[in-house]
């Protein structure tokens, strides 16, 4: 027996991509935001989309510079993920306030986060207006990960990613 679900809740069926700490830089400021809505968009070329609310400071920074970095935290960073997702870079320096260390990127000007086990540097190649969010479509230019984390697939036994199910409910994945 199935039941009708409110459409606003439908996204929660597919909400739980690995949580990202997304970094951006413009206006002389570096910023970090938590982001759940990301997806690979092409198989042949490394294209990835992230949906960013138009209210976020991050939206202004990516729109201005056309670059961003996807940093992948593991479960040890849950509290940081919550903090970066509930404060704005407009009035908080999240790097210094939440103990995050900047690492220099090679292909973009946006900093990577040292405490994350992997990062992807991207350049915006397209945008899609989705109403209250913009889908920034990025071409991946460089990816780094802690040695051994990505020998074949992602080793989630060593690097359990975080997933948001909605409300204040978080999960980690496990291998079958």
Please state, in angstroms and rounded to a whole number, the distance separating the CA atoms of residues 30 and 128. Answer: 24
| Residue 137, burial from CB neighbour count under 10 angstroms (0-12, 13-18, 19+) | middle
Q: Which is nearer to ligand FMN, 90 or 158 (CB)?
A: 90
| Residues in binding contact with ligand FMN, number by CB under 6 A | 22
Stretch that binds ligand FMN, among 87-95, 103-111, 117-125, 148-156 (CB under 6 A): 87-95
Alpha-helical regions (H) of 42-176:
57-65, 78-84, 94-97
Answer yes or no whether residue 49 interacts with ligand FMN by CB under 6 A.
Answer: no
Answer yes or no whether residue 88 interacts with ligand FMN by CB under 6 A.
Answer: yes
Stretch that binds ligand FMN, among 47-55, 109-117, 119-127, 147-155 (CB under 6 A): 47-55
Determine which residue in the list 23, 58, 80, 119 makes contact with ligand FMN, applying CB under 6 A: 58
Answer yes or no whether residue 82 interacts with ligand FMN by CB under 6 A.
Answer: yes
Residue pair 168/21 in contact (Cβ under 8 Å)? The answer is no
The contact pattern for ligand FMN, residues 121-150, with x = CB under 6 A and - = no contact, is ------------x-----------------
The contact pattern for ligand FMN, residues 7-46, with x = CB under 6 A and - = no contact, is ------------x-----------x-xxxxx---------
**Alpha carbons within 13 A on the beta-carbon side of 119:** 24
Q: Which regions of the chain does DSSP assign to beta strands (E)?
A: 20-26, 29-35, 38-40, 47-53, 67-72, 102-103, 112-113, 118-129, 133-145, 162-166, 169-172
User: Interface with ligand FMN by CB under 6 A: which residues?
Assistant: 19, 31, 33-37, 51-53, 56-58, 82, 85-90, 133, 164
């Amino acid at each position: 027996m199935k039941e009708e679900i409110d459409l606003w809740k439908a996204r929660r069926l597919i909400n739980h991509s690995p949580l990202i700490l997304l970094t951006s830089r413009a206006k002389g400021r570096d910023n970090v935001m938590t982001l759940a809505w990301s997806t690979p968009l092409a198989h042949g070329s490394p294209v990835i989309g992230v949906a960013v609310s138009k209210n976020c400071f991050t939206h202004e920074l990516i729109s201005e510079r056309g670059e961003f970095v996807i940093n992948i935290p593991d479960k040890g960073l849950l509290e940081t993920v919550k903090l970066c997702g509930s404060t704005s870079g407009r009035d908080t320096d999240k790097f210094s306030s939440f103990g995050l260390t900047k690492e220099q990127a090679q292909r973009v000007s946006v900093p990577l986060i040292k405490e994350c086990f992997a990062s992807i540097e991207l350049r915006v190649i397209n945008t899609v207006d989705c109403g209250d969010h913009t889908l920034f479509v990025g071409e991946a230019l460089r990816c780094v990960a802690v040695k051994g984390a990505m020998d074949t697939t992602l080793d989630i036994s060593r690097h359990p990613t975080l997933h948001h199910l909605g409300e204040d409910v978080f999960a980690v994945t496990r291998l079958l």
